Structure 1
Amino acid sequence: MKITTLADNYVASGKMGAEHGLSLYIEIDENPVLNQEKLNILFDTGQSDLFYHNAKHLGIDLSQTDLLIISHGHYDHTGGLAKFLEINDKATVYIRKEAFWHKMHNGKYIGIPNKEKLLQKDNPAKNRFILTKSIFTPISPLLSIISTPNKSLTSANNFSIKHDGKTEPAEDLFCDEQYLAFQIDGKTSLVTGCSHKGIIDIISDTQHITGNKVIEVIGGLHTSKYSAKEIRELSQKMASTHVKHIQTGHCTGIEQYAMLKESLKDRISYNYTGKSFHTKLMLN
């Protein structure tokens, strides 16, 4: 599995752009022994069409993408959704229905941009959407979409939702959040967008759902507001898991990453726009 970052908060090269958002291009090689076909997957679309322009610069043809997975319904992960549907007429889109709820932060709308157009009956792209419902959705012999149980968050961070015609906002429990699990030989590489439900709980729940050890985490940890004490606690908890490799960025926070790096050392690396890397799953 090869991952190329098409959009993230930072970029190492001036030839590409960065934004507050996340978009990962994932290439799965064919494996006849395991009955795994070759797949090109886009995981989230950032907050604009920047992912598309960066992909062009990297020589990646997004029209050949087979699957799009939306981790949750925030603008910084879905802002390029309309652009993707414009340039790609074949990919299946895996998204939870709750991603279309009216999502807010401090009372400001931060949900899917122009979602009304996406949901119009005469929009042909709507037929390509698969609304995932289960906590475990297999999409190939080695890949599945995971959605962990909902629970009240320890740090709500003023995220709220409106849905089902209700006028009063309610706490957002991130029922829409889902993750991509690449599994082989009893081990899992877990791709996450923002880890709003708490990365330690997500890892634990994923292991319970799949029966496999999570040894690699790729994506944002949602720790940019964490204090030094909270980072120390997270580092201690992470050190007690089976996770040996973390590629993180986006909502993790630069200062928080530096503190995590001090504790976790070579187990954690920083992701950025334009970076390509292979899963460490086969090395452990």
Structure 2
Amino acid sequence: MATAISVDRVEVHVLVDNVTDSLSTVPSHVENEWSYLWRHGMRKLSGRCICCAAHGLSCLITASRGTSTHTVLFDTGPEEETFERNVSRLGIDLGIVEGIVLSHGHWDHAGGMLRALDLIRERNGEREVPFYAHPGMYATRAMKQPDGSMRLMEDIPSVEALTAHGAKVINTTEPQSLSGEMFYVSGEIPRVTPFEHGFPGQYRQTDDGGWEPDPLLMDERWVAANVKDKGLIVFTACSHAGVVNVLKHAQDSFPDVPLHAVIGGFHLSGRNEKIIPETVEGMRAFDLKTIAAAHCTGWRAIMALTQAFGEPVIAPSAVGKRYTF
């Protein structure tokens, strides 16, 4: 049975996100990009030193227990140039990455994957990198337009391409424990709320070349770490399942552990803006201490969350930001 042992500390470094924001004040457990860069040797503020924002998400997550430390990479953003630039400018040593978790099969989370594998293996002695995925992630997807045409999305890298770049691909629908049980990757997320309907308008290509509706994205998973005296830190890259469904599933998976924080995209933009009120109300039940909205959440939802929960609970993500729990 997959589980997650209690750890002493979790550090999260945002490598890719939609926004950059080093000017806003932050809670004591959060550090902005520029502050981090000054501490790590930047001597002159310049465009040649700072990170690049892009539509996507990537988080480097490190958990520590006693003298043992483990690191996983959660997604890689939309394309390799942004990922590599930000990793370089933040001075990240990717040789410490012991595994990669892909949250779901969308280009804006997997576009930098092959380059990420190359960079990790350049620093780890060319060892294989475990790559945790769901078998449904590799389908060709598209958004149906009002005129009936399909707006294609770029496929994520194939198993063959991932393997060629040094990944040890582990495809399963079941939950898993990683890195000495310091991290937990969920299985498929049950859809139980009446208002979270997935990603309206998305289709997937069938084996015969046709198209079928695919709003639920059942390949999506969340990652968690259990921090001693705090509780569960839940990472959700896009919440196509609905962030309330994600949090309910996390709570059900760890009924004896409180939920402490959620980090990631909540996909409350575009067509999903209409469910912002129900989502905000649904999140009240979890008594979260940190809500780090990222990527696809949308400014209207961040405003509504801030009005409902206030600071320091609401600590929106940005590229280069670092959270410590």
Instruction: Give the alignment's TM-score, normalised by structure 1.
Output: 0.86
Contact 2:18 2:294 in 1 (8 A): yes
Q: Which residue of 1 aligns with 2:176?
A: 137
Distance 2:189 2:280 in 1: 23
The yes-or-no answer on 1:147 pairing with 2:193 is: no
Q: For 1:124 and 1:176, how far apart are their aligned partners in 2?
A: 23
Determine which structure has greater relative contact order: mean sequence separation of CA pairs < 8 Å that are 6+ residues apart, divided by chain length.
2
Aligned CA distance change for structure 1 residues 112 and 239 (closer, same or farther; 3 Å): same
TM-aligned CA deviation for residue 124 of structure 1: 5.8
Give distance in 2, aligned partners of 1:80 and 1:124. Answer: 12
Instruction: Establish whether residue 2 from structure 1 lines up as the match of residue 42 from structure 2.
Output: no
Summarize deviations over 1:121-179 as a string: whole Å, max 9, x none: 982635x1111321x21113332101343549525421121244452323242121111
Tell me if structure 2 keeps the 8 A contact 1:195–1:222.
yes
* Distance in structure 2 (CA, Å) of the matches to 1:109 and 1:63: 34
Aligned equivalent of 1:68, options 87, 100, 112: 100
- Amino acid corresponding to residue 316 of structure 2 in structure 1: Y
The superposition leaves residues 253-284 of structure 1 with CA deviations (integer Å, 9 ceiling, x where unpaired) of 123212211111022111100111112xxxxx
Q: Which runs of 5+ in 2 are unaligned?
A: 1-9, 23-46, 122-126, 145-149
Task: Give the alignment of 1:5-20 within 5 angstroms.
Answer: 5-12=14-21, 14=47, 15-20=50-55
The answer to whether structure 1 residue 47 and structure 2 residue 78 are counterparts is yes
Partner amino acid, structure 2, of 1:234 = T
Instruction: Pick from 238, 247, 265 the counterpart of residue 194 of structure 1.
Output: 238
Counterparts of 1:64 and 1:8 in 2: how far apart (Å)? 21
Larger CA Rg, structure 1 vs 2? 2
Shift in alpha-carbon separation, 1:241–1:226, aligned structure 2, 3 A: farther
SS of residue paired to 1:176: coil
Q: What residue is the counterpart of 1:208 in the other structure?
A: 252
**1:148·1:206 contact (CA, 8 Å) conserved in 2?**
no
Whether 2:272 is the aligned partner of 1:218: answer: no
Question: In the alignment, does 2:198 pair up with 1:158?
Answer: no
- Equivalent residues of 2:189, 2:220 under 8 A apart: no
Matching of residues 108-127 of structure 1 within 5 Å: 108-113=151-156, 115-116=157-158, 118-119=159-160, 123=164, 125-126=166-167
- What amino acid is the match of 1:137? Q
Match of 1:282 in 2: none
2:301 is aligned, of 256, 259, 268, to: 256
Matched, 1:179 2:218: no
Q: Which consecutive unaligned segments of at least 5 residues does structure 1 have?
A: 280-284
- 2:134 is aligned with what amino acid? R
**Aligned equivalents of 2:278, 2:137: Cα separation in 1:** 30
Separation in 2, partners of 1:190, 1:122: 28
Identical aligned pairs, as a percentage? 24
CA RMSD of aligned residues (A): 2.4
Aligned partner (choices 100, 118, 137) of residue 86 of structure 1: 118
Aligned AA for 1:100? Answer: Y
Secondary structure, in 3 states, of the residue corresponding to 1:274?
Answer: coil
Contact 1:3 1:277 (C-alpha < 8 Å) held by counterparts: yes
The residue type paired with residue 160 of structure 2 is: L
SS of the counterpart of 2:166? helix
2:286 partner SS:
coil
2:212 aligns to what?
169
Do the aligned partners of residues 147 and 227 (structure 1) sit closer, same or farther apart at CA in structure 2, a change above 3 Å counting? closer
Structure 2 CA distance, aligned partners of 1:31 and 1:208? 28
Q: Does 1:273 align with 2:316?
A: no
Does the 8 Å contact 2:59/2:75 carry over to 1? yes
